[in-house]
Structure 1
Amino acid sequence: MSDKSLDQLKRMAVFAEVVAAGSLTAAARRLGMTPSAVSQHLRQLEQALGLALLHRSTRRLTLTEAGERYHAGCAAMVGAAREAEQALVRLRDEPEGELRLAAPVGFGSLLASALAPLRGYPRLSLRLLLDDKLIDLIAERVDIAVRVGEMADSSLVARKLGSTARQLCASPAYLAERGWPATPQDLLRHDWLGSKPNSSNNADMLELLGPSGECETLRLEGRVQVSQVTALHALAVAGWGISMGVSEDDRKALAEGRLLPVLPGWRMEDMPVYAVTPRRGEQPAKVRYTLELLAAWFGDRQAAGVRSVAGPA
């Protein structure tokens, strides 16, 4: 749109305000302009249209026939602009619209708890994109992505929420049949459930920290490779082998005894959890409020000493 067209839109808005206010002086006061500036805008508008829009007298302004017809469109334009502004004000000040949130599959139940307060905003809808693969935030119009692990340098904005624990675990039936590993090296003789199905290399590198500070690094060949943590969890509970528990389902199964911690004296470094947004600058209320909820939820768990995967230390 050219500068000339933008000037014409401004004159149309001034004309609509003059009609609504009933006088040049009142319109000038509302618009924060001088009466002479308002009068000039009207003259320029009439010159551009080639028609008179107002009859001017010392006491009142009245619309010409052309003015009556033209005013309806000008008033509608101003009304639409005000409605658009109010919609943005609501979006800025109160959660509404569609919130698109991406996260790994295993975070589904966690998010259901953390985001429960969002139910109180009837004009807000939630779209969860659960996938263990990284989603393109821009292409998928994602507002917030929850990501686990160290963040690579990028144009994305990351806010650390907390960390999630990892615990080696297996079902009671598997351990009763195959025996309990006593040392990290014993894992090499067990069935390992991995998470690299699309890789030509089926091995997982596992680094374990011992009770005395020692470190063991193992290369574990996966008997089974799974792309999603929900399937990995189901296979572990069904007794297929030993896995690295990382999801809320694993945490619950450990707490309930459906999975048991393996090598409880050894641990892995916790993985950081981030909330990632695609841009800097001002965010709508739905994004700001959701970030606050996620930070508070992880903060409460960290303060309570609850790890995302439970089990003996």
Structure 2
Amino acid sequence: MDDIKRMAVFAAVVEHHSMSAAARALSMSTSAVSQQVRRLERDSGVTLLHRSTRKLTLTAAGEQFHAHCAAMVAAARRAQQQLTHSREAPVGELRLSAPVGFARHVAPALGELLAAHPALSLKLLVDDAHIDLIEARIDLAVRFGRLPDSSWVARRLCAFELLVCASPELLRSHGAPRRPEDLLSQPWLALARDGQALHLSLQGPQGESRTQRIEARISSNNQLSIQQMCVAGLGLALLARVDAADDLAAGRLVPVLPQWRCPSLDVWAATPQRDAQPAKVRAAIDALAQYLVGLPGAVR
């Protein structure tokens, strides 16, 4: 690494035609610049510069060596410019991870961003399982609810309203619950959570609260499958209003105990670093946040 630094100093001396001018450009002392060049000549055993009181001239070996040093410095400058460009403009591949049920929101959320920046590409990894974000080289992950401890940085995008939903057919056959306690006699659908039961928290119209521990009859690691089975009348399910909006509007689902409210579901953007975020990540987070708050049942 010291040799590379000396090569860069040597290239600056030739570029600026003097030790003192190179020193000013590099924020070094003239003596330090001279020392770096002398060390380069001593280690190589080759004279690179002819020095006089009036000017510096390259030797034949110095001229050939300078061509390589200048090319090295130019490549480093291009690399730095590329980093700056990545910092200031959305370019390159954005690797985005999201649950299956969220995938339908990616196109409307990021469509304008992708259209406005042709140099930006998208790699979407859809999986309800918590994949290894480091191993998969993820730039940005959309996550829901309580996040596990990790070195990743999370920014809250919004929260989704949650509803207990059922099909009209199920309620006709099992009876519509009138109190939170009635939920215990109903068949339930739930996301698989390592075999744990669903703990359903509810807040009543008078501010009272209930927490029900519910054993699900059917579980799945896929939220979309849970919703489809709920529409089919296989059980009650806790669904985000944004996901169930079409089924609710069409009457395929109805809210259960609508006067009791469930805690909202936080939506997060998780990234591997807090500082020096690439422009592609910053722009994608902003686009997601702007889109999500306009969805049914979304709150800031």
TM-score interval, smaller chain = 0.7 to 0.9
The letter for the 1-side match of 2:38 is: R
Residue correspondence of structure 1 range 259-274 to structure 2 within 5 A: 259-274=253-268
Aligned-pair CA distance for 1:39: 3.8
The 1-side partners of 2:78 and 2:242 are apart by: 44
Partner of residue 236 from structure 2, selected from 235, 242, 262? 242
Aligned-pair Cα RMSD in Å? 2.9
1:121 to 2:121 alignment: no
Aligned-pair CA distance for 1:54: 3.0
Q: What are the ranges of 5 or more consecutive residues in structure 2 without an aligned counterpart?
A: none
Aligned-pair CA distance for 1:84: 1.3
1:94 to 2:58 alignment: no
| Corresponding position of 1:251 | 245
* 1:87-140 deviation line (CA, Å, top 9, x unaligned): 111121112223233333322223433333321222222233333333333333
Q: What are the ranges of 5 or more consecutive residues in structure 1 without an aligned counterpart?
A: 1-5
Residue correspondence of structure 1 range 111-150 to structure 2 within 5 A: 111-119=106-114, 120-150=116-146
Displaced runs of 4+ in structure 1, greater than 6 A?
none
| Corresponding position of 1:275 | 269
The 1-side partners of 2:217 and 2:20 are apart by: 83
Percent identity between matched residues is 50
Aligned-pair CA distance for 1:34: 5.3
Which is further off, 227-236 or 120-129? 120-129
Aligned-pair CA distance for 1:46: 1.7
Over 3 Å counting, the alpha-carbon distance change for 1:184 and 1:40 in structure 2 is: closer
Contact 2:241-2:297 within 8 A present in 1 as well: no
The 1-side partners of 2:125 and 2:94 are apart by: 11
The letter for the 2-side match of 1:169 is: C
Relative to the length of structure 2, the TM-score reads 0.84
Over 3 Å counting, the alpha-carbon distance change for 1:308 and 1:236 in structure 2 is: farther
| Corresponding position of 1:71 | 66
The 1-side partners of 2:15 and 2:27 are apart by: 15
* 1:125-170 deviation line (CA, Å, top 9, x unaligned): 2233333333333333333333222345554433222211111112
* 1:1-38 deviation line (CA, Å, top 9, x unaligned): xxxxx332222112223333445455445434455554
The 1-side partners of 2:204 and 2:31 are apart by: 83
Relative to the length of structure 1, the TM-score reads 0.81
Residue correspondence of structure 1 range 163-312 to structure 2 within 5 A: 163-196=159-192, 198-199=194-195, 201=196, 203-246=197-240, 248-299=242-293, 306-308=296-298
| Corresponding position of 1:3 | none
Match of 1:115, SS state, is: helix
